[in-house]
């Protein structure tokens, strides 16, 4: 890996780390609680952040103005009589991070001012806060489902590759079957068998387990290939000659060789599974109201009028794009590196 | 009374359709060997025959059988297939002759003599006689068939007696005078005995006339007859050549050759297809789509009509069914649901004006009872309209033995956390939004609510058949402005007593009082007295909150400018009520 690639990899990792941090610490970064409805601010456009006061002078501390819509909550207009300076580390809605209850937010304005950086939805809920909290569910779904897939895939692929014979045949035929299944329809079918009424957490777990379980076939094939070639190598034969057990050989000699493949798979699977969550929630089969996820937030765009009139409602998609791109680039860089390193 | 899956709107006045019965020789010559048909001639401006009308339907009809239908889509479709003896003109809201050419009421108000038109035929050409009328009422009165309209025929606990009194005359004997008078006959379609009698004798009538039936199995006396049904796509009706109405120029109605219903569950999709010209007529428009369609309406040759408050009322209700098959979870929660204080607390926590503003962009009206401002004759103006108050809600709950834990979650007297689910129609975004707002409103008083969007047919199945739900947000559209049309909802043994179905006797004293009042007004010919009685029903409903009334949306309809004789009305069907008179101004 040359210097340029190192630089790229570092930059990408940093971008992804910042995005992940924002989502993980959503409670802190988001100015408001994601479920709080501000009914007098339905579909409020993003709040304008001003750097110059009414006299045209530049101020170091940006500020916002309160705005008011008409009686049905449209055509918002700024009220120039009052201004609310933006502040860091303000106290607001309570939230929990890692079990700790806190109320300090990264930024905000003093009440009764409001700052809706990315506007509000039909119930006047802050879109930025919802997108960040929504990312928690969507990303966690991606990560957990990937972990499940890789665990199953590595175990079955390793088993097939290492022992070969009828076990290999059996596992690989089942894998073929899973690859041939149209996964979206399979998910629909599985969802249809589950009870209709589920708590958001239950629905989330079911979703993750289902997504994770159906995707094991591809990583299993790749791992099988790597294991198959690794077990015929001289150092493996040598270890066997010294009386090493199967477990020792797999752990010490074979899995390290497969690690590159597994990590690359993980990097490619995470965005794919985040997308699966988005798809299911978009179609109303994922986590329900009022818990936000990127998928169920984008669901509002199914209504033509929302798509036409309120561009900020597309925010979750805009947030998801750097995630996907980041993971894709990271994946290809890793892939190159794995290809270069000779086992 | 119908379940409405979507929103409905009404429009103001419209040239009264004056119907007179005249024998018409010119058109009657089409039918040979039969006695000449005594046509009904309409006074509407004459139109041009031909063409097809494409209409959007938000759900597939569940059945074509008027004896078992309960859903909106079936009702709309069947409305074009069948006719009744005396029909309420949806525009004037007054009864007028239909299959009956005339009628008389005895001085004591207990005997209606109805004279059938001579020479009537069903859409398959078979003659329609007094025997078909007798047969039809036999079906509606049969307790085993559970016809939703049956309650209307039970007056003073005694069914109406239907007798043949001559070759074209039927006598209806009532045990008491009937308040709404001949409006009664509006919802009773006359059915063909020659097609249904054998099924009825075998006890298979409930399964007859399903959507899988062949066109030859169905016949009615409506303006159209069944031609083709493509599941998931469309329903095609064709012109009934034996229809009994003519226009001013003695041309036989209907003008249209075909009436096509496209099944489009998504209102946005329907709106786009209307905009592109694929659909000719679209009612139940959302306020958002109405506004966006109105922008370029004239250039596209479309008319968008806002008719003000409809007869539809949306409400939240709890499962109060006393049914042994209910799950333990539901029966446990019914301890809360059956408490009046609990329901009143929920009612005072909900934000009705917020729903009008956020969901309907102001094009709806908040309601506290089942009579909407669209029904001016029967609205109880004195009904209290308490505003939203979480304090009052909390007070009510506290007084009823509820408490809150340190996280603010509501606990019942056994220290169990109060939480329940609300089911709603996924095809109706307005109602799902109401549910989301109720969810937030109830969170404020410590109640945890989860939402379950369901396909509309599955939702109805749960509400009416399995009773497997905890709470539900639904809309009902009154079939008539007269309160008696809704008696199947208010009577405790009514077929649509939705919160507690199939009761033999009232479960609570206030339900008993409502039963009593509804029965009284039903036999009271004096309007003022009836009004007083029904006002009391409205007050009892508002006080006991078996249904928590939310909002009534306005009637919003879009139509191609070229469609003649079109005017939306407040009564259902708001758009197709005069489908026999609709015509294309240019071909």
Are B402 and B431 in contact by the 8 Å Cβ rule? The answer is: no
Same domain for A210 and A317?
yes
The number of angstroms, rounded, from the C-alpha of A71 to the middle of its chain's C-alpha atoms is 38
Distance (Å, rounded) from C-alpha B238 to C-alpha B225?
A: 5
Token pair of A221 as six digits: 């094939």
Chain B neighbors of A288, CB-CB under 8 A: 450-453
What average pLDDT does the structure give for chain B? 88
Same domain for A79 and A142?
no
Report the number of distinct structural domains present in chain A.
2
Chain A neighbors of B406, CB-CB under 8 A: none
Tell which A residues from 5 to 44 touch B, by Cβ distance under 8 Å.
35, 37, 39, 42
Compute the average pLDDT of residues B20-28: 38
Same domain for A317 and A267?
yes
Summarize chain B as % helix, strand, coil (round to 5).
30, 25, 45
- Residues near A202 by beta carbon (within 8 Å), at least 6 away in sequence: none
Token pair of B472 as six digits: 């539900």
Best CA proximity match to A213, nearest among A279, A262, A144, A164: A144
- Is residue A265 included in any domain, yes or no? yes
Q: How confident is the model at residue A192 (pLDDT cuts 50, 70, 90)?
A: low
- Residues near B52 by beta carbon (within 8 Å), at least 6 away in sequence: B256, B257, B258, B259, B260
- Residues near A273 by beta carbon (within 8 Å), at least 6 away in sequence: A141, A142, A145, A146, A149, A211, A212, A215
Same domain for A140 and A111?
no
Chain B neighbors of A302, CB-CB under 8 A: 266, 268
Distance (Å, rounded) from C-alpha A223 to C-alpha A239?
A: 21
Answer with the one of A80, A115, A150 that is the final residue of a domain. Answer: A115
The beta-carbon neighbor of A39 closest among B266, B289, B354 is B354
Same domain for A149 and A242?
yes
Same domain for A245 and A320?
yes
* pLDDT tens digit sequence for A240-270: 888 888 888 888 888 888 888 888 889 889 9
User: What is the C-alpha R_g of chain A?
Assistant: 25
Neighbours of A221 (CB within 10 A): 20
The beta-carbon neighbor of B452 closest among A196, A303, A304 is A196
- Partnered with residue B305 across adjacent β-strands are B557
Count of CB pairs separated by less than 8 Å, A with B: 69
- Is residue A147 included in any domain, yes or no? yes
Distance (Å, rounded) from C-alpha A253 to C-alpha A239?
A: 9
Distances (CA, A) of B154 to A110, A306, B142, B171, B510: 65, 49, 11, 16, 21
Flag the least confident range among A200-209, B89-98, B187-196, B499-508. Answer: A200-209
Same domain for A180 and A249?
yes
Same domain for A68 and A134?
no
Q: A121-148: string of b/e by CB count within 10 Å (b at 16+)?
A: bbbbbbbbbbbbbbbbbbbbbbbbbbbb
User: What is the C-alpha R_g of chain B?
Assistant: 24
Q: Decide if the complex's ipTM is over 0.85.
A: no
User: Side by side, which strands form the sheet with B20-21?
Assistant: B20-21, B40-41, B245-246
Residues B289, A197: C-beta atoms closer than 8 Å: no
- Is residue A39 included in any domain, yes or no? no
Q: Output the domain CATH number for residue A179.
A: 1.10.3720.10
* pLDDT tens digit sequence for A19-35: 889 888 888 988 898 88
Classify residue B125 by burial, with Cβ atoms within 10 Å: 0-12, 13-18, 19+.
exposed
Residue A61's H or E segment, with its range, is strand A58-68
* pLDDT tens digit sequence for A70-120: 766 567 888 777 788 888 888 888 888 877 888 888 888 887 888 898 989
Phi-psi region of A293 (alpha: psi -120 to 50; beta: other; left: phi over 0): beta
Distance (Å, rounded) from C-alpha B426 to C-alpha A122?
A: 17
Q: Following DSSP, what letter does each residue of A11-32 receive, concatenated?
A: HHHHHHHHHHHHHHTHHHHSSS
Same domain for A266 and A153?
yes
Asked if A192 has any chain B CB less than 8 Å from its own CB, the reply is: no
- Is residue A121 included in any domain, yes or no? no
The domain in which residue A108 lies consists of 47-115
Same domain for A197 and A65?
no
Backbone angles phi, psi at A187, to 5 degrees: -65, -40
- Is residue A72 included in any domain, yes or no? yes
Compute the average pLDDT of residues B76-83: 95
pLDDT of A7 higher than 90: no
Does the reported pTM lie above 0.80? no
Same domain for A206 and A314?
yes
pLDDT given for residue A200 in this prediction: 67
Same domain for A208 and A294?
yes
The beta-carbon neighbor of A305 closest among B288, B433, B435 is B288
DSSP tag of B46: P
């Amino acid at each position: 890996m040359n210097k340029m690639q190192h630089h790229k990899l570092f930059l990408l990792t940093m971008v992804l780390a910042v995005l992940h941090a924002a989502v993980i610490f959503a409670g802190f970064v988001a100015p408001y609680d994601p479920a709080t409805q501000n009914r007098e601010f339905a579909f409020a456009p993003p709040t304008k952040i001003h750097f110059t006061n009414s006299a045209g002078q530049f101020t170091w501390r940006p500020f916002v103005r309160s705005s008011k819509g008409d009686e049905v909550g449209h055509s918002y207009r700024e009220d120039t009589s009052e201004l609310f300076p933006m502040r860091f580390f303000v106290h607001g809605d309570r939230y929990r991070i890692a079990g700790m209850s806190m109320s300090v937010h990264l930024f905000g304005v003093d009440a009764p001012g409001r700052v809706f950086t990315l506007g509000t939805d039909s119930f006047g809920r802050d879109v930025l806060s919802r997108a960040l909290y929504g990312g928690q569910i969507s990303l966690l779904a991606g990560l957990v489902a990937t972990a499940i897939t890789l665990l199953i895939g590595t175990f079955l692929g390793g088993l097939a590759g290492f022992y070969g014979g009828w076990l290999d045949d059996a596992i690989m035929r089942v894998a073929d079957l899973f690859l041939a299944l149209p996964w979206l329809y399979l998910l629909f079918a599985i969802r249809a068998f589950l009870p209709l009424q589920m708590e958001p957490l239950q629905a989330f777990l079911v979703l993750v387990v289902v997504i994770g379980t159906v995707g094991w076939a591809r990583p299993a094939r790749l791992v099988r290939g790597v294991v198959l070639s690794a077990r015929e190598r001289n150092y493996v034969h040598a270890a066997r000659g010294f009386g090493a057990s199967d477990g020792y050989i797999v752990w010490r000699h074979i899995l390290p060789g497969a690690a590159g493949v597994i990590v690359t798979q993980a990097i490619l699977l995470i965005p794919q599974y985040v997308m699966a969550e988005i798809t299911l929630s978009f179609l109303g089969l994922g986590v329900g109201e009022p818990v936000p996820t990127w998928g169920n937030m984008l669901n509002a765009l199914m209504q033509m009028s929302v798509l036409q009139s309120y561009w900020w409602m597309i925010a979750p998609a805009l947030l998801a794009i750097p995630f996907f791109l980041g993971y894709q680039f990271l994946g290809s860089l890793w892939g190159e590196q794995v290809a270069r390193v000779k086992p | 009374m119908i379940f409405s899956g979507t929103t409905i709107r009404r429009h103001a006045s419209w040239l009264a359709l004056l119907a007179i019965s005249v024998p018409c020789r010119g058109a009657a010559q089409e039918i040979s060997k039969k006695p000449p048909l005594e046509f009904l001639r309409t006074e509407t401006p004459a139109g041009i025959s031909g063409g097809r009308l494409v209409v959007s339907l938000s759900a597939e009809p569940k059945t074509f059988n008027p004896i078992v239908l309960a859903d909106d889509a079936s009702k709309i479709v069947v409305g074009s297939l069948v006719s009744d003896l005396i029909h309420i003109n949806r525009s004037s809201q007054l009864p007028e002759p239909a299959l009956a050419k005339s009628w008389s009421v005895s001085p004591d108000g207990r005997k209606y003599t109805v004279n059938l038109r001579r020479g009537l035929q069903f859409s398959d050409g078979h003659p329609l006689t007094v025997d078909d009328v007798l047969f039809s009422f036999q079906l509606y009165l049969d307790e085993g068939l559970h016809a939703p309209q049956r309650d209307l025929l039970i007056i003073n606990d005694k069914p109406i007696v239907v007798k043949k009194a001559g070759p074209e005359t039927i006598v209806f004997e009532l045990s008491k005078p009937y308040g709404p008078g001949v409006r009664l006959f509006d919802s009773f379609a006359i059915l063909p005995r020659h097609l249904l009698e054998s099924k009825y004798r075998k006890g298979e009538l409930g399964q007859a006339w399903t959507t899988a039936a062949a066109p030859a199995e169905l016949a009615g006396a409506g303006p159209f007859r069944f031609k083709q049904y493509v599941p998931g796509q469309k329903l095609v009706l064709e012109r009934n050549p034996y229809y009994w109405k003519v226009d001013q120029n003695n041309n036989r109605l209907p003008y249209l050759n075909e009436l096509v219903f496209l099944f489009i569950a998504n209102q946005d999709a329907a709106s786009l297809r209307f905009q592109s010209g694929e659909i000719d007529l679209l009612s139940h428009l959302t306020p958002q789509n109405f506004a966006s369609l109105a922008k370029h309406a004239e250039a596209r040759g479309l008319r968008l009509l806002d008719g003000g408050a409809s007869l539809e009322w949306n409400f939240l209700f709890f499962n109060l069914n006393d049914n042994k098959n209910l799950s333990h979870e539901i029966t446990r929660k019914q301890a809360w649901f059956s408490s009046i204080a609990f329901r009143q607390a929920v009612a005072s926590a909900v934000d009705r004006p917020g729903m009008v503003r956020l969901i309907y962009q102001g094009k709806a009206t908040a309601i506290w009872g089942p009579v909407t401002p669209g029904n001016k004759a029967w609205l109880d103006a004195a009904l209290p309209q308490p505003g939203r108050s979480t304090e009052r809600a909390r007070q009510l709950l506290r007084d009823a033995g509820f408490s809150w834990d340190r996280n603010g979650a509501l606990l019942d007297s056994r220290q169990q956390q109060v939480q329940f689910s609300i089911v709603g129609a996924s095809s109706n975004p307005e109602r799902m939004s109401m549910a989301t707002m109720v969810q937030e409103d109830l969170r404020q008083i410590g109640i945890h609510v989860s939402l379950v969007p369901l396909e509309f047919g599955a939702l109805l199945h749960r509400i009416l058949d399995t009773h497997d739900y905890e709470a539900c947000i639904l809309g009902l559209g009154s079939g008539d402005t007269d309160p008696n049309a809704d008696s199947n909802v208010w009577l405790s043994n009514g077929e649509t007593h939705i919160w507690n179905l199939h009761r033999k006797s009232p479960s609570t004293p206030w339900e008993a009082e409502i039963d009593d009042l509804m029965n009284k007004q039903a036999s009271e010919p004096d309007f003022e007295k009836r009004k007083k009685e029904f006002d009391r029903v409205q007050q009892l409903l508002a006080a006991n909150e078996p249904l928590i009334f939310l909002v009534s949306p306005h009637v919003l309809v879009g139509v191609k400018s070229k469609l003649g004789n079109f005017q939306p009305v407040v009564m259902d069907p708001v758009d197709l009520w005069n489908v026999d008179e609709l015509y294309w101004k240019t071909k």
